[in-house]
Chain A
Amino acid sequence: MTKRATMGIGLDVGSTTTKGVLVDLSRTILASALIPTGSSAPVAVRRVLEELSQASGKDLAGLPIVSTGYGRTSVEFTHEAVTEITCHSVGVHSLNADIRLLIDVGGQDSKVIKIGPNGRPTDFELNDKCSAGTGRFLEVMARVLEVSIDDLGPLALQSTSPCTISSTCTVFAESEVVGKIGTGVAPADIAAGAHSAMAAKVGALARRVGLTTPIGVTGGVALNSAFRHYLSKQLDSPLWIPEKPQLTGALGAAILATK
């Protein structure tokens, strides 16, 4: 590119959803998109770009693109692939520069990032090779309890006596939950137990990095009210949640694209 771009595109290709954000040089979001990744990341990316173009009414041809997420290297026309760890830090920092500890819980991983005063990560930890403590864990729980993923959080908040889910493995927790259903435990109590177990797992990861307030939470799971409730309790701290917690990675990528 010979002249400086006036806008930047960030694409976050996650395991569950693909997100796109278009920003201008003042970091104002001009358009955003979020669709299921499905079986083909390149197809999802094309669709996201189309949506960004339609929503903003802009011609996106030739604009700089930074891709992130697990599918970051599968975006053929990206100018740079940057990890979601850096992108989430940059994205969150642009929305709230006070945040020093960020917990991002996505479909397939959870990460805790320490953010430096310049908005860049200074330390981080990711969950190990296990889906407990990720969005997938809640998806499995919702399926077993036969509720939609959107209804799982509100159901859990109805509980007056959360049960204990002892297993930290998604597969074993599933059989544990099936057992509890069999013994007549109320679905709300099981749902509350599942959220509490997950918050404990994510909380432990956060403590490993070191708690520094204010704490921000992003990723699709941040939309879940029961998870927020139990995590806040677990960390004994209020949590800052952006308006669209799923988009911070793509936002960070878009900001990096403008640089």
Chain B
Amino acid sequence: MAEQEKRTEEKVYRQLRTNSLLQQIMFRYMLEGHAASENGRLAWITSGFPVEIPVAMGVGVNYPEQYGAVIGSQKVGPQICGFAEEMGYSQELCSYARSSIGAARYPEKSPLEGLPKPQALLACNNICGTVLRWYDAISEMTGAPVFLFDTPPTQGKQTPHHREYVRQSVMRLIDFLSTTFHTTFSEERLREVGNLSGKGIDLWTRCLKACRNRPSPLNCADRFLAMAPIVSLRGTELAVEFYQALLEEVEGRVAQGLGAIRDEKIRLLWDDIPPWFTIFRFFNGLAARGVVFPADTYTHAWSGSLSGADLVDSVVSVYSNVYLNKGLEAKVDKMCELIKEYSLDGFIMFSVRSCKRYSLGQLVSKELVMERTGVPGVVIEGDMVDSRLFNDAQIQTRIDALLEMFI
């Protein structure tokens, strides 16, 4: 045991104790997904969907995007994406979509034997337009109907007729779920779920904000793992339980002056989805050089709580105003705000070939953020799941050159 502790002590990063709780919770989430599917009550859902509504109506949910992260981290992205490519899908298509379609085609050859069969597909286009066509493809393969929660992009202030349109989507969603799953909607239940969702988001936000401290108690990989419940278990007791435990550990680190990495020298912002297939190697490799990422744009995306007397109106506000659904300016503002708030020295933008919506305009954003904040940044290119698009040597040169600017 003593020897084991010594070995842990030598690592450049500190493992979170809460990771074991995370594993248990995510295992339970997986079992619940299977049970829901067997009972004919499972929906596949996009990460930015107003999940509180199906949860309040007793519908189980699974996240294909999260499953894509699993495929990526198990390093089988090229193989599973390849199944979709054999079916005729372009390599230019989002690798979450390709891996999801590929795994639906050959579940027996995919991690965890694929996601359990859905009875409905709930797509919200506040994160991208691809989700609708992707779910259409899954619908053809599984027979599950698709519901589109349509949130037209906004530039500047959202207009009243726009809000009314999205509000109608909420009503249509309630009808759709009622008919598909023979269930009923109760505002009281939505308030309960909304409260739990809000509690989870509040705890998660406090964990994120704790990274303003120097040294930062969490690094990028920590947050990318710990975000799983806020994405997939939003609105449940399990998520609240997990983030309470995480916050306790994070606050403990802050109180003791312990950082996520042992020797913090350079603090950077990360933009975009991470390369799941090399997430530990990548971030721990940089940790060995004293680089920590106290903030990123991705895990900060789940920040809006349902509140107020009119819960439906709150759903409209939260889900149509995610920054990917707003203009480039909103994202630039977010980056500048994070750089300032977390006292960051620079930033790395990961241009994800799959995710056009997230990566669009990064070169311009880079210039604007550098201009406004005065800190240097670099754009590197690759993908979140498809490791064939990730060139180590090219990425290394760009990152090394950025780090040399801090010497």
Contacts and interface: CB of A to CB of B under 8 A. Distances in A.
A121 B378 CA distance: 12
B397 A86 contact: no
Contacts of A129: 381, 391, 394
A83 B378 CA distance: 14
Interface of A: 70, 81-86, 120-124, 126, 128-129, 208
21 contacts: A70-B393, A70-B397, A82-B404, A83-B404, A85-B397, A85-B401, A85-B404, A86-B401, A86-B404, A120-B404, A120-B405, A121-B401, A122-B376, A123-B376, A124-B378, A126-B394, A126-B397, A126-B398, A128-B381, A129-B381, A208-B363
Contacts of B400: 81-83
Interface residues of B, number: 14
A106 to B, nearest CB: 12
Contact of B370 (A120, A121, A123, A126): A123
Contact of A83 (B363, B381, B391, B397): B397
Contacts, number: 34
Given A129-B381, A208-B363, A122 B405 contact: yes
For the residues of B in contact with A, the DSSP-based class is helix
Contacts of A124: 378, 401
Interface of B: 363, 370, 376, 378, 381, 391, 393-394, 397-398, 400-401, 404-405
Contacts of B401: 83, 85-86, 121, 124
Nearest to A128: B381
B286 to A, nearest CB: 15
B370 A84 contact: no
Contacts of A81: 400
B376 A84 contact: no
B374 to A, nearest CB: 10
B387 to A, nearest CB: 14
Contact of B397 (A84, A128, A208): A84
A112 B376 CA distance: 15
Contacts of B394: 126, 129
Given A126-B398, A129-B381, A121 B393 contact: no
B281 to A, nearest CB: 16
Contacts of B378: 124
Nearest to B394: A129
A40 B381 CA distance: 28
A83 B404 CA distance: 8
Contacts of B391: 129
Given A82-B400, A83-B400, A85-B404, 19 more contacts: A70-B397, A82-B404, A83-B404, A84-B397, A85-B397, A85-B401, A86-B401, A120-B404, A121-B405, A122-B405, A123-B370, A123-B376, A124-B378, A124-B401, A126-B398, A128-B381, A129-B381, A129-B391, A129-B394
